[in-house]
Structures are given as C-alpha cells and as structure tokens.
Amino acid sequence: MIRYHSTRDPRKTPVRFEDALLKGLAPDGGLYVPDGIPSLDPTNWLSADSLPELGVSVLRRWLEPEVPLSALESILHDALDFPCPLVQLSEDLFVLELFHGPTLSFKDFAARTMARLMQHFLRQRGERRIILVATSGDTGSAVADGFAGQDNIEVVLLYPLGKVSDVQERQLIVRRPGVRALAVRGSFDDCQRMVKEAFVDRELAHLPLSSANSINIGRLLPQSLYYLWAVRQLAQRGLDPNQVNFCVPSGNLGNLTGGVLAALMGQPVHRFLAAHNANHFFPDFLAGKVEAYEFHPTIATVSNAMDVGSPSNFERLLHLLGPERMRAWFWGTTVSDEATLERMRETHRTYGYLACPHTAVGLEALARYRAQTGDRTPLITLACAHPAKFPDAVSSALGIAVPKEEALETLWQRETQVTTVEPSLQALRQVLLS
C-alpha cells in the first residue's frame, strides 16, 4: 500500500491516502508525496479500452486496499465519463484535448475524481465536510460542479466580484445542490485571505472545513491518467509509444506533476516542456538563473488560469526528482501575451485549429523547443481549456466570434444563486454559521 509523507518531514512519518486526501496540506505546511511509486507494466495502459478502465488498472496499484476495487471502479466510471481525444495536427504533433468535461477545462478530471474519493471516505467515517475554495478561474467551477450533489460534502466558493469573465462567473453561480457561491467585493487575494483566516478562526473551529486546492495529492493521481491515455492513442495510430515528448501549459505545476507520476510509473517520456506565461519562475529555475524557490508576485496575463507567480507544486517536484534531474528532463520557456495571441493566429492559419490562450502558450513553447533543439520526437501538447471559455482572447487574436458551445449556451438558461459579501472574515463567518 502506498503511503505519503510531508515534503518537510525529515522522518518521513507515513500517513494513509485517506488522511492525505482529507487534510490536503500536511500539518507542517509541506506537501504530501508518495513514499514509493508503483512500477507498472505498460500493458496496463496500452491495452485499455477506455480512460476509466485504464484508470482502474493504474490507480488500484496506488489505492488498494484503502479503496476496494469495486468502489474504485464505480468512482472512475462515474467521474471520467467524458471523451479525451488526441487530435493530430501534423505528422509528429498532437493535441490532447482535456476540455470535454462539464466545465470545459482539464480541472474536471481531478475535481470529479477527488470529490468521489472524498465522498467514499466520508461515508465510511460518517463525517461531512465543508469545502472552501477561493477561485479566480477554472478551479472554482470544476470543484463546484465535481462536488455538487455529494451528500456528505458542501461547497462554499468565493470569487472576486467583477474580476472574472462573464462566462466564468456564470459557471460559478449556476445553482448546484450543496454549493453556495459568494461574490466578494474585493480582489482574489481578499478571497484567499478570507479562506485562510476561516481555517484558523476559533469561532469556526467546530465546523468540518476542508479544501480542494491544487496541492491536494487527490488531484494529482487522476491527472496522471490522461498522459497514459494519450500514449495509448498514439500507439493505436501505429506510433512508437516509447518515443514521446509532452508539452504542458503550466501555472501551479499540478498538471506537470501528474505527467511526472505517469513517467515514474513506467511510461518512457523523453522530455517534458513546461510552458509558462509571463510568470517566469520555473523556466528561470530550469535555465539555472535561480537556484531555489523564490516568492514572485503574480503577473496578470491573457492565459489567466496560469497566472501563478510562485508555483506551489515546485516543492513537490523538487522532492520527487531533485534539481539535476529536473533540469535534464524538463525544458521551459516563458511566453508573452503578444506571442500567445500570435500563436493562436498562426495555429488557426496553419492547422485550422482554434486553441485557447493556455493551449497557445504550449504551442508557442513547443515551436521554440523544436527550433532550438531540432528534436523531432513526436510531441503531445495538452489543450487545457475550451476556447469558448475565452471569447475575448479569441476575438482579439483572430477577429472572430468563438463558435457556440452547447455546454456554455445552456448555462444562460439555468437558475443562478449567489450572495454578495464584504471582503471580511466576519462576512464569511455569517454565511458559514447561518
């Protein structure tokens, strides 16, 4: 059975998956990492007929017997019930579309799986949780949607009023069972501060508060699965599954960490490309310009779901791989907004493919990588969100309206539920205690 310990615990005190999942962050402020990685035979993914089936044969090696096989099967078949196609752009270039879930970003894979895993353990314990999330982008809607209707879990999500796009706001405030949306008269930082204060507030100490943010190990395991499913699809097209590079548009480095887990389980990956926007800490680290973790304030960009100045999963990657291995295996670059929009145009012109700004950061990075290194290993780049979520970027890059997308159109017909609150702990307390 795989156990976990904190990146900051020199004694590596082991905890069960259940505890790592329900706690999120370790008590010492570190991140949970596995004490070993199951080594798997590639037939586990190369012979799978569907993503849920692949997920079961891989994750049972991580989760049995804590999660019995039958429970894992129903969790994954229920959570991962949407397509994840590999689209070919050219002979050696593929896009893995991760945006066909209910909220149209890759966050659905992790949020939906994690919600069902939490529900599984909470039912067993006869406990409930209130999940608090501060959000400015895709995480909030994926968590709200993924956790909605799980009977032992309630979600309270906070977003900055007037600071998210119309589409994003709609996705946050449509009425969902067990979800309360709070529009905070303040910034994203206010929302985050309120959540942090709530966790240490004495008046709220009796409430079973929990979080679902991107450092939870429960989000990383499901994110390893689609890398393997991509390789499976590559092999189906007659390509060598052992020759592949992945390009990952990155912010907090959770998606990339999922890929690293897939590789450590036994899938050969020649290179990982970390494609960042103007938030350049990680590419700087890979280039040897900085030696260790540094705090950087966040820079706002058109690929806003990647606006993370100081990626928290860095600590986990460093612990798993160490700096030399990271620098040998990863290649990084930082892409400006101008270059992002230009790459959206270029991709549309060359391949007739409409990429969201995040995906375009990846496409620009891989073009630079190939020009710089001449490496023509077949490359899969991750398409993280549906372009229809970013109509403004699409119209400023291409001068066209984004094609209508069913899942977003129906949002405008649905009922909404939102409470506007002041940016204070007192306001959040009132909501939580009511």
Ligand X SMILES: *Cc1c(COP(=O)(O)O)cnc(C)c1O
Interface residues with ligand X (CB under 6 A)? 105, 107, 137-138, 214, 249-255, 305-306, 358, 384-385
Q: How far is CA 328 from CA 133, 281, 322, 323, 422, in A?
A: 35, 17, 10, 9, 48
Nearer of residues 168 and 245 to ligand X, judged by Cβ: 168
Shortest Cβ 390–ligand X spacing (Å): 9
Shortest Cβ 124–ligand X spacing (Å): 29
Q: Which residues of 132-158 are buried (b: 16+ CB within 10 A; e: fewer)?
A: bbbbbbbbbbbbbbbbbebebbbbbbb
Tokens standing for 50? 């569907």
Q: What angle (nearest 5°) sits at the alpha carbon of residue 78, between those of residues 71 and 165? A: 135
Nearer of residues 95 and 204 to ligand X, judged by Cβ: 95
Are 222 and 55 contacting, i.e. CB atoms less than 8 angstroms apart?
yes
**How many Å apart are CA 340 and CA 31, to the nearest integer?**
32
Beta strands across the sheet bearing 93-97: 86-90, 93-97, 379-383, 245-249, 271-276, 330-334
Contacts of 127 (CB under 8 A, 6+ apart): 152, 208
Catalytic residue among 12, 23, 107, 389: 107
DSSP state of 35: S
Shortest Cβ 387–ligand X spacing (Å): 10
Nearer of residues 164 and 306 to ligand X, judged by Cβ: 306
**How many Å apart are CA 332 and CA 10, to the nearest integer?**
30
Q: Is 107 a catalytic residue?
A: yes
Nearer of residues 117 and 302 to ligand X, judged by Cβ: 302
Nearer of residues 254 and 283 to ligand X, judged by Cβ: 254
**How many Å apart are CA 271 and CA 377, to the nearest integer?**
9
Shortest Cβ 245–ligand X spacing (Å): 17
Shortest Cβ 358–ligand X spacing (Å): 4
Q: Which residues are catalytic?
A: 107
